[in-house]
């Protein structure tokens, strides 16, 4: 007889081992009368619960709060296969209240990895370890997604892990002896990301472009088989799709280069391919770099915010549900004027353009970048009382590395009572006064 059959605590559903059901999931805002689970702060009525801790439904995906763990490369996979490292790493965020955790950039082809240690989903053997992670996150009553990617001309480099943060670099080519593939790096044009440590990519043939789109399609099929709740297409940060978007890195003269329509063709075809093999009920995310930060170069400014806004209106009609707005990464000469809202302000402007076009009903905005505290996360998505949100979801990366319990801590600092993981409910944060 299985252990959980004797246990008086309700077990999590569809889990082959005993773990208690998390109902409601950690990170769910509770009414003032509910003191049974995680009384971490002063009580808050439903009228004053900030948007950050209100539910959101995207197609069939139901989130109990607006926190998303942004995909973060950890360069720790084994020939593209995830390991117990990823189980603990990703599971820790879901366990502590993140409504949606997105698995790091996962290559759809073997040569689409950034480093030899990147995650992959180009073959069936990579299904099982990822499925174990998805099953665990689901056992915590949380949701999980995966970011599908191809690194393009930024592939086959060393991760820099173990060199210390000051030496962290992606600008050293991984040789075949180091597991790399410097003779099989693809790009829209034979233009390297940098002359310092990056190979000159091979200009992709039309056949290779078809192979790439099929790779995204096949990886999406595997992701559905695994049971993920959503898929994100990586079209940002100087990887292959964003290389095609930019007129600096894409100097093709065929149907994939030149005009806006041609440079966006690969992303459009990829979206259509992925959307065709995932359930109608599953939401689809796309991450873009909203600007290349090359506007200073007037003769060839690169991919711009104006083009991203135009692209957003196109994607909204193609079945994309969330536009994840980041920036940069495609040119070493980029000039970024960094401040806490340098990317969120762009997200807000794209969101407003969608609203004016009547397309926010089709596609919402994810905001990312430098979200390190509760007040900032709250303000990014807050609605009502004349507020105009910059985004509908907050995608957080490094702060989760510093503070895996960021969701619970944010609730505490904002005075919102939330459910904790049931095993941790006896150790709430000390009481504090609610911040107005």
The full length of the chain comes to 436
pLDDT for the residue numbered 299: 85
pLDDT for the residue numbered 74: 97
Q: How far apart are CA 219 and CA 273, in angstroms?
A: 11
Strands 230-235 and 202-203: unpaired
Q: Which residue has the tokens 């329509």?
A: 261
Q: How far apart are CA 395 and CA 401, in angstroms?
A: 13
Per-residue pLDDT of the chain in tens (436 residues, 90 and over written 9): 333 344 557 999 999 999 999 999 999 999 876 544 544 444 444 458 999 999 999 999 999 999 999 999 999 999 999 999 999 999 999 999 999 999 999 999 999 999 999 999 999 999 999 999 999 999 999 999 999 999 999 999 999 886 555 544 555 899 999 999 999 999 999 999 998 889 999 999 999 999 999 999 999 999 999 999 999 999 999 999 999 999 999 999 999 999 999 999 999 999 999 999 999 999 999 999 999 999 999 888 899 999 999 999 999 999 999 999 999 999 999 999 999 999 999 999 999 999 999 999 999 999 999 999 999 999 999 999 889 999 999 999 999 999 999 999 999 999 999 999 999 999 999 876 655 5
pLDDT for the residue numbered 386: 87
> CA-based Rg of the chain, rounded to a whole angstrom?
22
pLDDT for the residue numbered 5: 43
Closest CA relative to residue 52, chosen from 400, 345, 406: 406
Domains, the chain, ordered by start: 3-424 (3.20.20.70)
Strands 186-187 and 100-107: unpaired
Q: Are 139 and 97 in contact (CB under 8 A)?
A: no
Q: How far apart are CA 42 and CA 414, in angstroms?
A: 9
As annotated, the active-site residues are 239
Residues 6+ apart with CB under 8 A from 298: none
pLDDT for the residue numbered 298: 87
Could you list the beta-strand ranges (E) of 275-378. 284-289, 322-326, 364-368
Helices (H), 116-227: 127-139, 206-226
| CB-CB neighbours of 48 under 10 Å | 12
């Amino acid at each position: 007889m299985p252990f959980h059959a004797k246990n008086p605590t309700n077990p999590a559903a569809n889990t082959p081992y005993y773990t208690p059901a998390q109902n409601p999931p950690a990170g769910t805002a509770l009414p003032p009368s509910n003191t049974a689970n995680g009384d971490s702060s002063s009580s808050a009525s439903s009228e004053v619960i900030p948007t950050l801790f209100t539910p959101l439904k995207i197609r069939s995906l139901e989130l109990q709060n607006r926190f998303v763990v942004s995909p973060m490369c950890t360069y720790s996979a084994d020939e593209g296969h995830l390991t117990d490292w990823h189980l603990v790493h990703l599971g820790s965020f879901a366990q502590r209240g993140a409504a949606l955790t997105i698995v790091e950039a996962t290559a759809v082809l073997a040569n689409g990895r950034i480093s030899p240690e990147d995650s992959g989903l180009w073959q069936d053997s990579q299904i099982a370890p990822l499925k174990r992670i998805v099953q665990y996150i689901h056992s915590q009553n949380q949701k999980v997604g995966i970011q599908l990617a191809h690194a393009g001309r930024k592939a086959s480099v060393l991760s820099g892990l173990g060199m210390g943060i000051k030496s962290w670099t992606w600008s050293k080519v991984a040789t075949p002896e180091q597991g790399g593939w410097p003779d099989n790096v693809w790009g829209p044009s034979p233009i390297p990301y940098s002359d310092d440590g990056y190979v000159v990519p091979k200009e992709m043939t039309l056949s290779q472009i078809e192979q790439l789109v099929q790779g995204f399609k096949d990886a999406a099929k595997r992701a559905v088989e695994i049971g993920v709740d959503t898929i994100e297409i990586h079209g940002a940060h100087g990887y292959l799709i964003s290389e095609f978007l930019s007129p600096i890195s894409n100097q093709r003269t065929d149907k994939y280069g030149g005009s806006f329509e041609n440079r966006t063709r690969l992303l459009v075809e990829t979206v259509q391919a992925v959307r065709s093999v995932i359930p109608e009920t599953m939401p689809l995310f796309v991450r873009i770099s909203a600007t290349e930060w090359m506007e200073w170069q007037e003769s060839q400014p690169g991919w711009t915010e104006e083009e991203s806004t135009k692209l957003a209106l196109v994607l909204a009609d193609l079945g994309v549900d969330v536009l994840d707005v980041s920036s940069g990464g495609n040119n070493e000469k980029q000039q970024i004027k960094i401040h806490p809202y340098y990317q969120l302000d762009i997200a807000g402007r794209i969101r407003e353009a969608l609203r004016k076009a009547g397309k926010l009903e089709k596609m919402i905005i994810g905001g990312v970048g430098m979200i390190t505290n509760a007040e900032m996360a709250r303000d990014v998505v807050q609605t009502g009382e004349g507020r105009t949100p910059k985004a509908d979801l907050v995608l957080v990366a490094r702060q989760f590395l510093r503070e895996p319990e960021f969701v619970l801590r944010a609730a505490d600092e904002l005075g919102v009572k939330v459910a904790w993981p049931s095993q941790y409910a006896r150790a709430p944060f000390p009481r504090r006064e609610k911040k107005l």
